[in-house]
Amino acid sequence: MGDKIRVMYSEEEVDKRIRELGEQISKRYEGKTVHMICVLKGGVFFMCELAKRITVPVTMDFMSVSSYGAGTKSSGIVKIVKDLDQSIEGRDVLVVEDIIDSGRTLSHLMKILNERKPSSICLCTLLDKPDRREVDDVNVDYTGFQVPDEFVVGYGLDYDQLYRNLPYVGVVETE
Ligand code: 5GP
Ligand code: MG
Ligand code: MG
């Protein structure tokens, strides 16, 4: 209770950036239907706002994964906790994530999804920490913001399940 949060990207900045991404994505998928896949739970706020800014037809599905690993370190061995409801075969898929850190989770997840033969697959993340990348096979098509190596919260991102509902991206200041 009562942690201080330093704002990194304000609500206005995030909203503006999401509008820009929505425009770019709408152009890329002209004449098509985008099948957005939200990686729960972190991606859910970004997914909802982004979907509202996309002007081509949109369908959605949700997936929840957990990566095994000691402590906070991602192992990249992804366990599907909740799988998609629908097949993605032949669809134009846009995976929507909150943040890419080591990249291990996404590297594994993209492999799993590619095996299901989508017509195309792109990756969109609200935040990216490129300095932390440990794999080189994660291709990010759309990034909201590149962030430094700090633990960020808000806009879907949690600290011990808290702070997901903050309408901005911030950093918990520890005393
Ligand atoms: P990766 O496999 O890329 O290392 O793990 C990515 C996952 O780690 C994200 O989906 C997110 O759940 C978590 N994560 C990585 N960095 C941060 C951060 O700065 N803040 C929060 N809240 N979660 C993070
Ligand atoms: Mg995530
Ligand atoms: Mg988390």
β-strand partners of 128: 100, 146
* pLDDT given at position 54: 98
* pLDDT given at position 68: 67
Check: CB of residue 59 under 8 Å from CB of residue 35: yes
Position 69 confidence tier, pLDDT thresholds 50, 70, 90: low
Atom of ligand 1 lying closest to residue 105 CA: 2
User: What digits encode the pLDDT tens for the residues 12-37?
Assistant: 999 999 999 999 999 999 999 999 99
Q: In the chain, pLDDT over 70 holds for what percent of residues?
A: 93
- Residue 31 alpha carbon to ligand 2 centre in Å: 29
Please give the CATH number for the structural domain made up of 9-150: 3.40.50.2020
Answer yes or no: 101 catalytic. yes
* pLDDT given at position 148: 95
pLDDT(128) > 60: yes
- Residue 158 alpha carbon to ligand 3 centre in Å: 5
CB distance 100 to ligand 1 below 6 Å: yes
Better pLDDT: 75 or 139: 139
The whole-angstrom separation of Cα 99 and Cα 106 is 10
* pLDDT given at position 174: 79
* pLDDT given at position 87: 98
Question: Any idea where the domains of the chain sit in the sequence?
Answer: 9-150
* pLDDT given at position 75: 66
Where are the extended beta strands (E) located within 11-73?
34-40, 58-68
* pLDDT given at position 72: 56
- Residue 31 alpha carbon to ligand 1 centre in Å: 34
The mean of the pLDDT values for the chain is 94
9, 68, 99: which to mutate for ligand 1, most atoms within 8 A of CB? 99
pLDDT(73) > 80: no
